[in-house]
Amino acid sequence: MQTMNYRGKSKNLCETDSSFWSLQRLAESPQLFERFVFGLALADLDDGLLYMNRKARELLVSTERGGDEAGWTCCDLICGRLGPMLEGGCLAERALHVDGLLPEVRIDVDGSGALGAAWVTVSRIDSEGTQVLFHLRPGSRDDRRRRGHSQVAGADPSVSPEPELYISTLGRFRVEGKHGVLDGEWLEQRPGQLLKYLACERRRMVTTDMIAEALWPQAGPSEAGNRARHYVHVLREKLEPDRAKRSPSQFVVARRGGYYLDANRVKVDSDEFEREARAGLTAFVQGLAEPAAGHLDNALRLYRDPFLAETPYEEWALEERERLHAHAGRALRAQVRIRTDLGHLDAAVEHARRLAEMEPFDMDAQRIVLELCMRRGRRSEALRRYSVLRKRMLQSFGREPDFDLAELEGPLGAPSG
């Protein structure tokens, strides 16, 4: 039996057909889950797939993929198979913004080398975390029932289909409403800092204590809580100046002592970037070069700068910045490979240069751009770049690069990551 990979805390599972299961039971009795007749896959929006039982592996993992699911995400194995229905989105993200279950959807699968289908239900684990449970039951590709529902694609008849607030976090922080840009000194003051924090924590609800600890760690408990509630009120006034007195906010929602941005009405460019990057990387893994390149181009156009680059020293933004940075790196590596395989070396080298700038001490990234320079016959550029890299490594780490230029005359190596 394959060893279970579980990193979460013990909480009740979502209400699916097997609602009696719990994460505590998963940790204590993995054999029960391994023998369960339907597929179960536990995923975290930030950490990827945490666990798949035997049936899920049979349905989702083809013989070509191998048996090690380390590093996979739900988009690699599930969401990417839905194609246009999700518009490059993620089922886990949808589940985190919906109360209860999303409608059942069908995906085509080629697990264990056989063509087939699976019906998928997904729901969140709890109201505050980033974990969801996928329930998969075998189906047939000839099943003509509807594959899904508009809610899966994010539509909800009770709200406007178009976001009413757009927040730019990749580049200069910018907020735009239905009537134009929302500007002013408040963006650089505490209400603006609060909005940035909520954008960073957009996948979960945050309590007043969490807000206060992140933004005003030196304040006492009573003062911090009052300060958080006050600036939530100020922020709502800035975002919705025409809101009727005592009417609920459309954007900053209060629930059970915490706050979150309403994903139905607030669009954050980081999410758009991540959807396009995931769609492109999924298509790349599936060998679909042209669709992959299109999605990855869209993603990299959005990734103008690191997440909230104007606040580089805020500890609460570091993890999200690094997570999105890693997505951008994987997107660039995939684009280099795609453009190189298609013979578009000029485009490949532009992506490689950008990757090398993003990762100045990553020897794999530096090697990629140097190999492309050598392949294009630009040995002088390669020599200049290598000399700068050698000096940088000696000054920072007291060691030279782990490769020589002479080694790069052969075929371009496959980018890692």
In a domain, 91, yes or no: yes
Does position 216 have pLDDT exceeding 80, yes or no? Answer: yes
98 vs 90 pLDDT, higher one: 90
pLDDT-derived band at 165, boundaries 50, 70, 90: very high
Q: What separation in angstroms does the CA of 351 have from each of 152, 158, 241, 410?
A: 34, 42, 43, 20
Does position 158 have pLDDT exceeding 90, yes or no? Answer: no
Same domain, 282 and 257: no
Domain span including residue 326: 270-409
Same domain, 262 and 277: no
Same domain, 332 and 234: no
Residues 382 and 373: their CA atoms lie apart, in Å, by: 6
Same domain, 107 and 170: no
Question: β-strands 116-124, 105-109: how paired?
Answer: antiparallel
Contact status, residue 253 vs residue 260, Cβ threshold 8 Å: yes
In a domain, 13, yes or no: no
Same domain, 227 and 286: no
* Candidate from 111-115, 352-356, 361-365, 391-395 with smallest mean pLDDT: 111-115
Same domain, 60 and 106: yes
Residues 292 and 284: their CA atoms lie apart, in Å, by: 5
Residues 372 and 181: their CA atoms lie apart, in Å, by: 42
Residues 61 and 73: their CA atoms lie apart, in Å, by: 12
**130-139 confidence digits (pLDDT tens):** 788 888 888 7
Same domain, 176 and 280: no
pTM for this prediction? 0.64
State the sign of the Cα–Cα–Cα–Cα dihedral 276, 175, 258, 317.
Answer: positive
In a domain, 6, yes or no: no
Same domain, 169 and 213: yes
In a domain, 327, yes or no: yes
* Candidate from 19-33, 97-111, 141-155 with smallest mean pLDDT: 141-155
**65-91 confidence digits (pLDDT tens):** 444 445 678 888 888 777 555 655 788
Residues 113 and 187: their CA atoms lie apart, in Å, by: 54
State the sign of the Cα–Cα–Cα–Cα dihedral 182, 185, 187, 191.
Answer: negative
Burial-class residue 84 by CB neighbours within 10 Å (0-12, 13-18, 19+). exposed
pLDDT-derived band at 193, boundaries 50, 70, 90: very high
Same domain, 207 and 175: yes
Reported as type and span, the H/E element at residue 387 is: helix 379-397
Same domain, 259 and 325: no
pLDDT-derived band at 64, boundaries 50, 70, 90: very low
CATH code, domain carrying 224: 1.10.10.10
CATH code, domain carrying 319: 1.25.40.10
**248-258 confidence digits (pLDDT tens):** 888 999 887 78
In a domain, 4, yes or no: no
Q: What b/e readout covers 290-329, taking b as 16+ CB neighbours within 10 angstroms? A: ebbbebbbbbbebbeebbbeebeebebbeebbeebeebbb
Burial-class residue 196 by CB neighbours within 10 Å (0-12, 13-18, 19+). buried
List of residues 6+ apart from 364 with CB closer than 8 A? 415, 416, 417
* Candidate from 28-37, 86-95, 308-317, 375-384 with smallest mean pLDDT: 28-37
List of residues 6+ apart from 19 with CB closer than 8 A? 13
**Cα–Cα–Cα angle for 349, 350, 353, nearest 5°?**
80
Does position 247 have pLDDT exceeding 50, yes or no? Answer: yes
Residues belonging to the chain: 417
pLDDT-derived band at 237, boundaries 50, 70, 90: very high
Report CA 235 to chain centroid distance, whole Å.
26
In a domain, 316, yes or no: yes
In a domain, 30, yes or no: yes
> How many domains, the chain?
3
**10-47 confidence digits (pLDDT tens):** 333 333 333 334 455 555 556 667 777 788 888 888 77
CATH code, domain carrying 33: 3.30.450.20
Residues 130 and 32: their CA atoms lie apart, in Å, by: 24
Same domain, 259 and 278: no
Same domain, 393 and 277: yes
pLDDT at 28: 57
**315-346 confidence digits (pLDDT tens):** 999 999 999 999 999 999 999 999 999 989 99
Domain boundary among 267, 297, 331: 267
Provide the percentage of residues in the chain whose pLDDT is more than 70.
77
246 vs 143 pLDDT, higher one: 246
